[in-house]
Structure 1
């Protein structure tokens, strides 16, 4: 059985390598033929549906084909090798491992893990919950290795590293090196991306930075400090020269929306070498929370509309944390598709939900992920039929308040209770105003019988995880 598994894995790696090499040089017609061959490999129907979805994108000359070619053209050999193994690990072997884990325990593991190995940061950005923390109480290196080993046993191969500033952890590269079957997507302010750091990233191959920006130099330096933007630009040059794939993480505020939804800015990031753009909203969950920085309901919907156009025209990937509920069937938190472990070991439903019922120190993954608290969250998802309103913090704030006060639940960040007390009236008003906009859009989708995802193709069905 073990020999058979190794043989199958080797065959899958060879096929994936061939497929990627064909993508980089083959005609559209040959790639369409390749998808028909690929449909014969997976045993799970949902994956065959996704392959059919990819074929539809190719047939429509969607920019996704150029995105795939950019990934191959702009990555180094080591990173491409790790990417191939990740695709096999996460979507083929990982699926079987997650199913096997579920059959043994009754719990279906999530696909990704978020972890903040430190909350320390050398910047002091307004609206951010990280900052002036000490090392005291941070997860030890050995504990992080134990966490990652248990995650891999469950079939989790994607680790999103947050903070704080992750590169302040001197053991970060050691940790990534010890887990070569995992991909580490590291969210960083970009200020530490010097020659030495980029060389280490390129050598490992399984580390991909996501660099935070607020827009151009004026917007970024306003929030992060004078001169920071130019440091980031230098880091991007080094990453591109080393052929390391990287993403950009954009925080939408009330002040920078015009820039973040402009074609010129997206083209600027593509030119700099970014392969993926994350969009987040500035929420009042950090130090000295100020509701005035939070985007208005109209601005949030403007971002959603902009991504419809971008996804149909730009050769770069997009993830919109709050507006992509139609892709994820609502909220992903609480172990449905991911969870967050903070630097103290508290296991939070989401990186923006600073409350927990368990700490990973001294407990197994199964104990903390299959807890009554996470099960309660999972049982309520999606919180509304309208998947444009997926979030229990800002779309269904009454649920967020209920979960934050659930028996045994405690706050994990100083002052976060302000969000649920002093600011609750503002958040409720926001939810009502955005709800009016989103409900009108959703009704339009329903009237058209629209089975399409904004700017993409028909949404793949049959892939929602069920406990």
Structure 2
């Protein structure tokens, strides 16, 4: 698998783009995680990976989206540059760029060009990636578009709320691949696309098209338009995990996940401190689906000191890790509300209904399914996760044995469905 993937990438991708990926993301990313681990030993937390939603606006209207996509909030270039430079000064080199739709931000390309020694992953629907934009992305060389595809033609239109979505997205995807840009495809796995896209046939199609990696994450019913009918059952969550580990060991395409360590133990990147989120107003949030904050990137102390010293983020990490290895929002929305009230955190949405949305949630299973752990099969993923994507000791003091036993009984009682 690995030699075939490497050969395919070398043949299809621009050599300068590969070099930027290897150095800015690979080498410097690993060093960033090592600095993160040293900070943890000192009792300090600053994530090695930051995700920035630089704009609210989006051209699509996806089912269950929690972003205020009809609004026009965005972070200006000067603030973005200052934030990235401060994080860089403390060892960070990788940044995830989200929206809304990031390519609707008028200064996105300027942002990428301003930081040639960083690496950016852009979460996008791909529809604004014209031939001209793709050429510019290749020239800059320090980014990878992660293009979301939510189904074949019919399901894509249904999931994304517009017409001809898949064809428009594939045009953007092909523009990237034609220019030799390292490009991925992301899918939010849900009830309406699991049979279409969680298949070897689909991955083989992506490989033939020239896609370099895939990212399967699972739909999370949150926000003002939460759609419980789309959410996966526990047995389907296990199916996703098993599929990912199987395909990683067999196919020449990299597959990303963010919910498990090398032994198949569930984790939450927010709880472990490996990642936090910055919203389109500059608010510093625990993660993208927790739309509350007490801090902002506009604080004169800078992003490093502000996040390091945030009592709100610290409490979120610790309380979440104490109660679950999964998603605290899905499993314990009451705890999220408790912390929001305790810290007097502000609702960072434009709609102003985030607290009421927590009240409306029904607790459900997330990725933590005790007794259903599936370890990585491929040695490369096992090693990478052991050293650079684990729980970093976040759950060491939690004593989850009793909670895990109770959850296992609940799974049995529900027939894992």
Q: TM-score of the superposition, structure 2-length normalised?
A: 0.83
In the alignment, structure 1 residue 171 sits paired with structure 2 residue 94? no
1:419 Cα deviation from its structure 2 partner: 3.6
1:244 lines up with 2:191 in the alignment:
no
Quote the Cα distance in structure 2 between the aligned partners of 1:376 and 1:97: 22
Give 1 or 2 for the bigger CA radius of gyration: 1
Corresponding residue for residue 139 of structure 2 = 203
Contact preservation (8 Å) 1:330, 1:383:
no
Indicate which of 85, 96, 115 corresponds to 1:149: 85
| Structure 1: tracts of 5 or more residues without a match | 1-62, 446-451
Residue of structure 2 aligned with 1:330, choices 261, 267, 287: 267
- For 1:97 and 1:306, the matched residues in 2 are separated by 33
Distance 2:76 2:20 in 1: 26
Partner of 1:371: 310
**Which secondary structure does the structure 2 equivalent of 1:441 belong to?**
coil
Residues 312-358 of structure 1 show CA distances to partners (whole Å, capped at 9, x for unaligned) of 21111222344568568722116711110011011111112222221
SS at match of 2:54: coil
- Whether the 8 Å CA contact 1:259–1:265 is kept in 2: the answer is yes
Q: Is the 8 A contact 1:334 1:374 kept in 2?
A: no
- With normalisation by structure 1, the TM-score equals 0.75
Deviation at 1:381, TM superposition (A): 5.9
Quick one: structure 1 residues 70 and 287, their matched pair in 2 at CA, closer, same or farther if it must change by over 3 Å? farther
Describe the SS at the equivalent of 1:421.
helix
Query: How far apart are the structure 2 equivalents of 1:259 and 1:324?
Result: 27
- How well do the aligned residues superpose, as a CA RMSD in angstroms? 2.8
1:162 positional shift: 0.4
Bigger Cα displacement from structure 2, 409-418 vs 343-352: 409-418
Taking a change above 3 Å as real, the CA distance of residues 408 and 319 of structure 1, as seen in their structure-2 partners, is: same
Cα contact 1:161–1:184 (8 A) shared by 2: yes
- Name the structure 1 match of 2:18: 80
Task: Map residues 16-415 of structure 1 onto 2, 5 A cutoff.
Answer: 63-86=1-24, 87-92=26-31, 94=32, 107-136=44-73, 138-224=74-160, 225-322=162-259, 326=263, 330-333=267-270, 336-363=273-300, 364-365=302-303, 366-380=305-319, 382-383=321-322, 389-413=325-349, 414=351, 415=353
Give, in angstroms, the shift of residue 140 of structure 1.
Answer: 1.8
Q: Which stretches in structure 2 are left out of the alignment for 5+ residues?
A: 395-417
Q: How many residues align?
A: 384
Compared with structure 1, are the counterparts of its residues 66 and 382 closer, same or farther at alpha carbon in structure 2 (3 Å cutoff)?
farther
Q: 1:293 to 1:404 in 2, by over 3 A?
A: farther
How far 1:368 sits from its partner (Å)? Answer: 2.7
State which of 431, 443, 447 in structure 1 corresponds to 2:365: 431
2: CA distance, partners of 1:230 / 1:391: 33
- Contact 1:161–1:186 under 8 Å retained in 2: yes
SS of equivalent to 1:394: helix
